[in-house]
Amino acid sequence: MTTVPGPVAPEQAPRARDGVRATPRGTGPRPSARPRSRRTRRAVLGFLGVLGFAATWELFALAEVVNPSYLPSFTTTARRLVAELGEPRFWSTLGDTLITWALGLAIAVGAALVLGTVIGLVPFLRRATHSTVEFLRPIPSVAIIPLAVLVAGLSREAALIVVVYAPFWQVLIQVLYGIADVNTVARDTARSFGLGRAQRLRHLVLPTALPYVITGFRLAAAIALVLTITSELVIGNPGIGRQIDLYRSAPDAPGLYALVLVTGLLGLLVNLGTRAIERRVLHWHPSVRRETPR
């Protein structure tokens, strides 16, 4: 656990030495080229990695190491993916998955923020709930699928129970750690200056806990997507997961692999989106400032 650093003191102006007038900092060229080139290099390497993966898949399929009925080539799968993108049914299926994911994530994050803040701000509640949280948190979401089906049947509500479970604990733990990381000296100073609970929450607790909360949100978004696909596969509610299972039963290997690629692309987009939110919300945080060109 690390304490979020406070404001950094401004750097001193450079002094002249050996009769040479020093150039004030910030008047020369800004060092933004290096971060940009680093990002470009990272993007190029990532693209080359994708090409390498596709080429390996194609060669593996052409060599027929695995029966072509079970492993179609990458080009066959790519053509099928393009065909799927042109089908209205695909977009309806994708919409079902995104709705379940978004609802589950929103419920998990909202409930964890409220409950975590209440528990974190009251030491008695934190001590009283510690053992319960540590008992429930490790239970895998897949293990509660039978309970969810028993409670809500084969429906989206059952899938939501599964999707909410693990992301809720992920965010709750981060909120509790973030509130516990508030500096005691800063808390006592705020009290001595007469700041009320609402003011301390806004000016002291929130800035300290926010990096933890955003990290929890980023992890929860990815976990919620995995659980959404899993619940569709197992429970059978409409979505990409159910369509994958239907293609498995057909059997339709190109369609199955095409939708697996879609799930990977969804995961990539979720990660990029949450990273962008993290950079936007935590633009003031040292870890984000180091990544952002000035």
Look at residue 216 and tell me if it is in a domain: yes
Which of 180-189, 210-219, 257-266, 283-292 is least confident? 283-292
Look at residue 54 and tell me if it is in a domain: no
Length of the chain as a residue count: 294
Confidence band of 8 (pLDDT split at 50, 70, 90) = very low
Q: Is the pTM for the entire model greater than 0.75?
A: yes
Report whether pLDDT(7) > 60.
no
Look at residue 181 and tell me if it is in a domain: yes
| Token pair in block for residue 193 | 């200056």
Q: Which residues contact 119 (CB under 8 A, 6 or more apart)?
A: 125, 126, 129, 176
- For the chain, what is the domain count? 1
Torsion sign over Cα 51, 55, 56, 61: positive
Quick one: three-class SS letters along the chain?
CCCCCCCCCCCCCCCCECCECCCCCCCCCCCCHHHHHHHHHHHHHHHHHHHHHHHHHHHHHHCCCCCCCCCCCHHHHHHHHHHHHCCHHHHHHHHHHHHHHHHHHHHHHHHHHHHHHHHHHCHHHHHHHHHHHHHHCCCCHHHHHHHHHHHHCCCHHHHHHHHHHHHHHHHHHHHHHHHHCCCHHHHHHHHHCCCCHHHHHHHHHHHHHHHHHHHHHHHHHHHHHHHHHHHHHHHCCCCHHHHHHHHHHCCCHHHHHHHHHHHHHHHHHHHHHHHHHHHHHCCCCHHHHHHCCC
Look at residue 232 and tell me if it is in a domain: yes
Residue appearing with tokens 């099928």: 80
Digit-coded pLDDT (tens) for 152-163:
888 888 899 999
Look at residue 66 and tell me if it is in a domain: no
Cis peptide before 207 (omega within 30 of 0): no
Give pLDDT, residue 217. Answer: 93
Give pLDDT, residue 53. Answer: 83
Confidence band of 22 (pLDDT split at 50, 70, 90) = very low
Look at residue 234 and tell me if it is in a domain: yes
Question: The domain spanning residue 239 has which CATH number?
Answer: 1.10.3720.10
Segments forming the whole domain that contains residue 225: 88-291
Look at residue 9 and tell me if it is in a domain: no
pLDDT > 70 in the chain, percent: 79
Question: Burial of 89 by CB count in 10 Å (0-12 exposed, 13-18 middle, 19+ buried)?
Answer: exposed
| Token pair in block for residue 18 | 């050996």
Look at residue 114 and tell me if it is in a domain: yes
Averaged pLDDT for residues 179-193: 72
Confidence band of 58 (pLDDT split at 50, 70, 90) = confident
Strand partners, 17: 20
User: Is the model more confident about 2 or about 122?
Assistant: 122
Averaged pLDDT for residues 101-106: 94
Distance CA 48, CA 27 (A): 38
Report whether pLDDT(34) > 80.
no
Q: Which residues contact 231 (CB under 8 A, 6 or more apart)?
A: 100, 145, 148, 158, 159, 162, 163, 237, 241
Digit-coded pLDDT (tens) for 203-262:
677 778 888 899 999 999 999 999 999 999 988 888 999 999 898 888 888 889 999 999
Give pLDDT, residue 20. Answer: 43
Give pLDDT, residue 29. Answer: 45
